[in-house]
Amino acid sequence: MAIAYDKLFRLMESQQITSTALMRKANISGNIISCLRHNEYVSPETIETICRVFQCRVDAVLDFKFSPEMNIAPSELFLRTANIQNRRYLGNKFKLLKFLRNVVDKNCTAVETVADIFSGTGAVASAFMDKAIITNDLLYSNYLCNLAWFGREQVHLPLLENLIANYNQITDLPTNYMTDNFADTYFSEADCTKIGFVREDVEEKYQLGVINERERAVLVASLIYAMDRIANTCGHYDAWRHGAIFDRRLVLPLLNVPAENNRQNRCFNEDANELVKRIRVDLIYIDPPYNSRQYSDTYHLLENVARWQKPPVHGVARKMNRAGLKSLYCTSKATDAFEELIQHCDAKYILFSYNNMANKGDARSNARISDEDIFRILNAKGDVEVFSAKYKPFTAGKSDIRGNEERLFLCKVRQRSKI
C-alpha cells in the first residue's frame, strides 16, 4: 500500500469529527470516505478540501507507506507524466515539427483545417493545435493515442490521475491473457499480469459507464506509453532479448492531454485511401511508411493490447494474426496507392513527407515510391515545391546510409475538386 490516511482518522478522533460530519464539512461523498478508509488514492482536490476543514498541511492527513518490493519511488507514482513525443515510434516526425510548421506558415494561407492521415503518434497533428484537426491511422493503437491527445470529448483529469495512481500501486493480481502468452518475453511475468489487469479493468470501467470513450483512450494510451518505456526490445516487437533482466517496472504515466480540445477535431481508424474520399480540409499532411516494414508487424503487441480481443499468438515473437492491417504503402503497389490517394485529395494544400533513400539502403530500407513517380503524381495535381531538412536515417537493417534527408513536398492544388 503506498498511501495511508491513519493521520487523518486520528485527527478526526482527536477533534471528535465523525465521518458523516467530515462528509458535510468537506462536501465529499460516502464513496470518498470509503476510499480513505481503504487507503486508496483520492483526488488532490479532495485532499485540499480536507486540509481546509482541519486548517492543516497535507502531511498532517496522509503518509506514503512504501514497500521496497514495489521498486517504484513515490515521486514516480504521482509525478510521472508523458508528452506526445515520449514514444519510441519508427518514422515519428517530432524533431521535424519546427521545420514543418515553418514551411506551412511561410507558404500557405488561410489554413484553418488540417488532416494528418497517416498520423502514427500524432506528433505532426500536435503542431497544429490552433487549427481544427483530423487524425487517422490504420492501427487501432495509434487511433486510441490520437483520440487521447486530440479527441473532442471532455475528460475529467482528476479521475484519470486517481485511476492511474491506483493502477501503479496495485499488487497481487490474478494471472490473465497477457501472463499466459507473454510472461518473461517483452516484459516480466509480473508486468505482463499488470498490463492484462489494467487493460481488462479499463474495458470494464468503460462498459459500466464509469469512464467515457476518450477517458478510455487516455488510459489505454498511458498503458502503451508505459509499455514502450520498459519493453525488452530495441524499440519494436519483432523480437525480444533472451535472458534479459527485467529491472524496470511498469509505471503508467499521466498523459499531459488537454481536458478539452477543439470541438471540430475528428479521429479516424481506417485506410487513408478510403478516408480521403470523404474529407475536405485546407491542408492534408501525408506521411506513409517508406519501406517494406509493416507497422502492424513492428507494433503487433501494442495493437493486441489496444484491441483487447485476446487472439491466439504465434512464433517466438508472439504475433497475432495481422490480416487486414497490412499497408499497401509497404508493398510494390505503393505507387498506385499514392496516385489514387492524391487524386482523391480535396484540399488547398498537400504536404507530403518522404525521405531520399530511394536506393541507398538495403532492400528492406529502400523507399517504395521513386522520386520520378512522386513528381509525376503531384505535378498532375498542382504546383510542387520541395523543402528539405537533414534527418537521422530510418533503417530497417544495418546498412550504412549517408546523406539522408527528410523531404517535404508542398503541392498547391490547382483545382480543388473531387474526381
Ligand X SMILES: C[S@@+](CC[C@H](N)C(=O)[O-])C[C@H]1O[C@@H](n2cnc3c(N)ncnc32)[C@H](O)[C@@H]1O
Q: Which residues bind ligand X (CB under 6 A)?
A: 89, 91-93, 118-121, 123-124, 136-139, 142, 271-273, 287-289, 295, 327, 329
Question: Nearer to ligand X by C-beta: 91 or 382?
Answer: 91
Contact criterion met (CB below 8 Å) for 173 and 197:
yes
Instruction: Supply the minimum distance, in Å, between the C-beta of residue 236 and ligand X.
Output: 12
Report the nearest approach of ligand X to the CB of residue 36 (Å).
Answer: 42
CB nearer ligand X, residue 249 or residue 326: 326
- Would you say 77 or 257 has its CB closer to ligand X? 257
CB of 184 or CB of 371, closer to ligand X: 371
Nearer to ligand X, 100 or 254 (CB): 100
Nearer to ligand X, 68 or 324 (CB): 324
Phi-psi region of 41 (alpha: psi -120 to 50; beta: other; left: phi over 0): beta
Output 89 or 352, the one with its CB closest to ligand X. 89
Give 74-81's long-range contacts (Cβ < 8 A, gap of 24+): 74/2, 76/168, 76/251, 77/2, 77/165, 77/168, 77/169, 77/251, 78/165, 80/251, 80/252, 80/253, 80/254, 81/253, 81/254, 81/255, 81/256
CB-nearest residue to ligand X: 120
Contacts 24+ apart (CB under 8 A), 157-162: 157/254, 157/257, 157/259, 158/43, 158/44, 158/45, 159/43, 159/211, 159/215, 160/215, 160/218, 160/219, 160/254, 161/43, 161/44, 161/254, 162/41, 162/42, 162/43
Least CB distance to ligand X at residue 216 (A):
20
Give CA torsion, residues 76, 82, 86, 88, to 10 deg: 70
Question: Checking DSSP bridges between strand 347-355 and strand 254-255, what pairing results, if any?
Answer: unpaired
> Which amino acid, 218?
V
Least Å from the CB of residue 29 to ligand X: 41
